[in-house]
Chains A and B, each alone.
Chain A
Amino acid sequence: MAGQTVRILDGNTFVVCDERGDIESLPSEPTGLFSFDTRFLSTWVLTINGQKLNPLSIDDLQYFESRFFLVPGTGTVYIDAKLSVIRQRAVGHGFHEELTILNHEDQPVDLVVRIDAASDFADLFEIKDKLKKLGSYEVSVEDGSLRLAYGRDTFRRETRISASAPAAIDKKGLTFKIRLEPHERWTTDLEVVTALAGPGGSYVRPKYSRGRKEARPNMERSLDRWIADAPTLQSDWEPFRMIYRRSLVDLAALRFSPPVAGGKSLPAAGLPWFMTMFGRDSIFTSLQALPFTPELAATTLRVLGDWQGSRRDDFRDEDPGRILHEMRYGEMAAFEERPHTPYYGSVDATPLYVILLDEYERWTGDRKLVRELEYEARAALNWIDEYADLMGNGYISYKRRNEQSGLENQAWKDSWNSIAYSDGRLPDFPRATCELQGYAYDAKIRGARLARLVWKDPAYAETLERQAADLKRRFNRDFWIPDREYFALALDADGSQVDALASNIGHLLWSGIVDASKAKAVVGHLMGPRMFSGWGIRTMAAGEGRYNPIGYHLGTVWPFDNSFIAWGLRRYGFKEEAARVASGILDAAVVFDGRLPEAFGGYERTVTKYPVRYPTACSPQAWSTGAPLLLLRTMLGLEPTGDHLVVDPVLPESIGHVELLDIPGRWGRMDAFGRGRVQVEDWRRKEGRTGRRA
């Protein structure tokens, strides 16, 4: 689709269309109305007297709603604005569109208003991989609505389209023949309803209708309520409030209820490719959002617990105790052409699950949930030693069992070339990346705390602590590269070090697995010129064989990555460094209007005045949305200690005064205050200098 695309979303239903509000999808592009990984509309085109309209302006009203102002066009610069057309569309269980036409003339006009509609029912996987469909289509006009259907064996997907005004409906769309008197307006409501099952299955009405436009992230709570329940932020630094609000709204928008999860909602990963449940993304996002919306963590823990692996299934890379990687609802998953029902090929989600459970209890004091999830947490801890140690060397490593459609890299840097030696070679499998060992260590330490405190099993706690201490000792010996003073990115299949310098070492600080004596050197690398760009820490250091400032995991800056590294810097007492990282990422957020993309270019800040957006980055993306929240927690030094919240603010000077009011937790509600004192590089001055030189 040429030109700008407009995106609105509600949970895992979303619309991507052009500036007119039209949808004319190509088979290989993710434009259209999507729900549960299936495209339900691939054509949705409005014409008046056979002509398409010209866009005048678009209002992004809310994340789920946009309004298009249009006029009939002549194809020339001259616009004959005797008519105006307004399309107002709200997505949520299909969508609702209010179409209004105004006649500005002193003459009556006769108009033929036409909506062309069609659906190819493409699975997102089919769009990505350009695959042909195997089922058959059926189109019919029934009970005053146009029914588009697709079937393959028992698999059914349907779209039903209807209008409130009288329309002539045929198999390709709806036609309205109207006469508008001078200065008269005409309006109709169009409803597009999607269904996962055919006859006998359920159609759910669109969430929104005319005059009912209060945002409802889920059925119980409005957006206003969602924001009101979160802490309030005040700051001298004007953009901070905008970034904070944007994060809360996007987090609400990305929540969705999987159809087999009993109406509970958790964050989907990101628009447009990943509007589904991802173990890793949901856990990281829930950790970031804990001080703000702790119920997100509770839902994530329950739902991922429900889906926990229970058997060995090579196709799905499933093991008992393993936490899922990704769930998909489309045709290819249904027919096992893809393993996502769900797919378990993630090695970090399982230890991270235990980490989230413990962190959740530390904030909320909700021991009931920890008791309820004892079986799942123990199974997750058991998975680390029983199933994840593929090389028998006491480290978590990964190698897919599904060679056809499984994931090669099963940690967060999952692109094919992300794990490399300094000279650019790629190691064989299995691979034991370093951050996985940190997560395993932290999971055992935290599991031990829960075992002692809630499950009343001190013997188990001691075992876990003994294992953790042993892991830490071995790790600091086997992964440390003494002459370069950093931890290897991974161990390869021979147990040798994969020696590229990468941001993964920052996660080690967060986990606490780094010997105190080594922390300073690690921080030196993270904050040094090879890794810190001025906007943030690069995924891979400049100078490495595969370094590329716009390589997906080879040098770009990931806001989520930086938020956890900043937390790690705090953990080891490097408070000013944490504030510098936070300052860079928040400055980038301002440039992106408060909505941080998945990743941006790793160019030197003094060279590019603005952070360069990674070409195909998903946006909004849950863990980027959560990054400003975790950075805020980190800068304020918020740490639950016993039944209290400790506040130890270290902020960049440019942010000035910050107040975070009504922070929920086991203490009820508490306020935190801080004033920026850390001197951060004056980038404007530096940039200015560069400018003069150039």
Chain B
Amino acid sequence: MPDPTEAFFARLVERGHEPALQRTTGSARIDIDRDGKVAHWRLDIRCGKVEVTQSGDAADCVIGAPAKLFDDLASGKANAMAAALRNELTMEGDPGFLVRFQRLFPAPTGRKMPTSARTVGKRRG
């Protein structure tokens, strides 16, 4: 059985076109660190048409993530924007790409709503 990361990119290949990336043209590389070995996934996007290769060539935007984190993102167990704010997910180049790209991650599954004593509060008034 492929890991969630491979399954995620396989789904991108299968779909070929992502309406959420309609306004995106450019390249992005995702470097996934699995026990010190870095795997590259390179996306070439033309108005939402996505081509996936495993090339390490330079790209407009480079995203770095440990394998565990990316597996969690690809299976709806983690949130990409929160991970980026924690610097767990790193980013070089056009940061707008990550905002659009993270829309492709699935809805939360097998994840309880985060709770902590520090989550109580309200806004305004």
Is B10 close to A, CB under 8 A? no
Is B122 close to A, CB under 8 A? yes
Q: Which of B27-35, B38-46, B49-57, B108-116 contacts A (4 or more CB under 8 A)?
A: B108-116
- A125 and B122 contact, CB distance less than 8 A: no
Is B98 close to A, CB under 8 A? yes
By a CB distance below 8 angstroms, the chain A residues around B98 are 260
By a CB distance below 8 angstroms, the chain B residues around A92 are none
Interface centre among A129, A273, A334 (most CB of B within 10 A): A334
Name A303-319 residues within 8 Å CB distance of B.
305-308, 310-316
Is B37 close to A, CB under 8 A? no
CB distance from A596 to the nearest CB of B (A): 18
- B114 and A415 contact, CB distance less than 8 A: no
Is B100 close to A, CB under 8 A? yes
Closest residue on chain A to residue B96 by CB atoms: A262
Q: Which of A106-114, A402-410, A601-609 contacts B (4 or more CB under 8 A)?
A: A402-410
- B119 and A375 contact, CB distance less than 8 A: no
Cα–Cα, bound, A552→B114 (Å) = 31
- A338 and B122 contact, CB distance less than 8 A: no
CB distance from B48 to the nearest CB of A (A): 8
- B125 and A329 contact, CB distance less than 8 A: no
CB distance from B19 to the nearest CB of A (A): 5
Is A128 close to B, CB under 8 A? yes
By a CB distance below 8 angstroms, the chain B residues around A415 are 124-125
Contact of A315 among B94, B96, B100, B114 (CB under 8 A): B114
Q: Which of A97-105, A150-158, A386-394, A465-473 contacts B (4 or more CB under 8 A)?
A: A150-158
Name B70-99 residues within 8 Å CB distance of A.
76, 79, 81-82, 84-88, 91, 94-96, 98-99
Is A528 close to B, CB under 8 A? no
Contact of B107 among A125, A156, A313, A372 (CB under 8 A): A313
A-B contacts at CB below 8 angstroms, number = 117
Interface string of B8-41 (1 = CB under 8 A from A): 0000000000011011000000000000000000
By a CB distance below 8 angstroms, the chain A residues around B121 are 125, 128-129, 338, 405
CB distance from B32 to the nearest CB of A (A): 16
Closest residue on chain B to residue A342 by CB atoms: B81
By a CB distance below 8 angstroms, the chain A residues around B105 are 311
By a CB distance below 8 angstroms, the chain B residues around A262 are 94-96
Cα–Cα, bound, A619→B47 (Å) = 41
Is A261 close to B, CB under 8 A? yes
- A416 and B108 contact, CB distance less than 8 A: no
CB distance from B106 to the nearest CB of A (A): 6
Cα–Cα, bound, A280→B105 (Å) = 25
Interface residues on A, range: 35 or more
Cα–Cα, bound, A408→B125 (Å) = 12
A308 and B95 in contact (CB under 8 A), knowing A315-B113, A337-B118?
Answer: no
Interface residues on B, range: 35 or more
- B100 and A306 contact, CB distance less than 8 A: yes
- A337 and B114 contact, CB distance less than 8 A: yes
CB distance from A343 to the nearest CB of B (A): 9
Cα–Cα, bound, A683→B51 (Å) = 68
CB distance from A200 to the nearest CB of B (A): 8
Closest residue on chain A to residue B84 by CB atoms: A260
Cα–Cα, bound, A407→B121 (Å) = 9
By a CB distance below 8 angstroms, the chain B residues around A335 are 82, 86
A307 and B99 in contact (CB under 8 A), knowing A156-B87, A341-B79, A372-B23?
Answer: yes
Name A509-556 residues within 8 Å CB distance of B.
552-553
Is A12 close to B, CB under 8 A? no
By a CB distance below 8 angstroms, the chain B residues around A260 are 81, 84, 91, 95-96, 98-99
- B95 and A197 contact, CB distance less than 8 A: no
Cα–Cα, bound, A192→B123 (Å) = 30
By a CB distance below 8 angstroms, the chain B residues around A374 are 22
CB distance from B10 to the nearest CB of A (A): 19
A404 and B119 in contact (CB under 8 A), knowing A155-B85, A259-B95, A260-B95?
Answer: yes
Cα–Cα, bound, A336→B108 (Å) = 13
Is A201 close to B, CB under 8 A? yes
- B22 and A418 contact, CB distance less than 8 A: no
Cα–Cα, bound, A486→B20 (Å) = 42
- A334 and B96 contact, CB distance less than 8 A: no
- A154 and B87 contact, CB distance less than 8 A: yes
Closest residue on chain B to residue A153 by CB atoms: B86
- A306 and B87 contact, CB distance less than 8 A: no
Closest residue on chain A to residue B94 by CB atoms: A262
Cα–Cα, bound, A153→B115 (Å) = 18
Is B1 close to A, CB under 8 A? no
CB distance from A127 to the nearest CB of B (A): 11
Cα–Cα, bound, A374→B22 (Å) = 9
By a CB distance below 8 angstroms, the chain A residues around B96 are 260-262, 264, 306
Is A168 close to B, CB under 8 A? no
Interface string of A329-360 (1 = CB under 8 A from B): 11011111110011000000000000000000
Name A249-277 residues within 8 Å CB distance of B.
259-262, 264, 273
By a CB distance below 8 angstroms, the chain A residues around B86 are 153-155, 334-335
- A405 and B119 contact, CB distance less than 8 A: yes
Interface string of A552-594 (1 = CB under 8 A from B): 1100000000000000000000000000000000000000000
- B19 and A341 contact, CB distance less than 8 A: no
Is A670 close to B, CB under 8 A? no
- B108 and A314 contact, CB distance less than 8 A: yes
A408 and B122 in contact (CB under 8 A), knowing A155-B86, A260-B96, A337-B116?
Answer: yes
Interface centre among A196, A341, A418 (most CB of B within 10 A): A341
- A310 and B113 contact, CB distance less than 8 A: no
Is A229 close to B, CB under 8 A? no
- A341 and B81 contact, CB distance less than 8 A: yes
Cα–Cα, bound, A316→B103 (Å) = 14
- A341 and B124 contact, CB distance less than 8 A: no
Cα–Cα, bound, A306→B124 (Å) = 26
CB distance from A369 to the nearest CB of B (A): 10
CB distance from A149 to the nearest CB of B (A): 13
- B95 and A405 contact, CB distance less than 8 A: no
A-B residue pairs, 10 tightest by C-beta? A415-B125, A262-B96, A311-B107, A334-B85, A310-B103, A341-B81, A552-B125, A336-B114, A260-B95, A129-B121
Q: List 14 additional A-B contacts (Cβ < 8 Å) besides A315-B113, A414-B124.
A: A156-B87, A196-B87, A262-B95, A264-B96, A306-B100, A310-B103, A316-B79, A332-B118, A335-B86, A336-B79, A341-B81, A402-B113, A407-B123, A552-B124
Q: Can you show 6 pairs from A to B with CB atoms below 8 A apart?
A: A306-B100, A308-B103, A332-B118, A404-B120, A414-B125, A415-B124
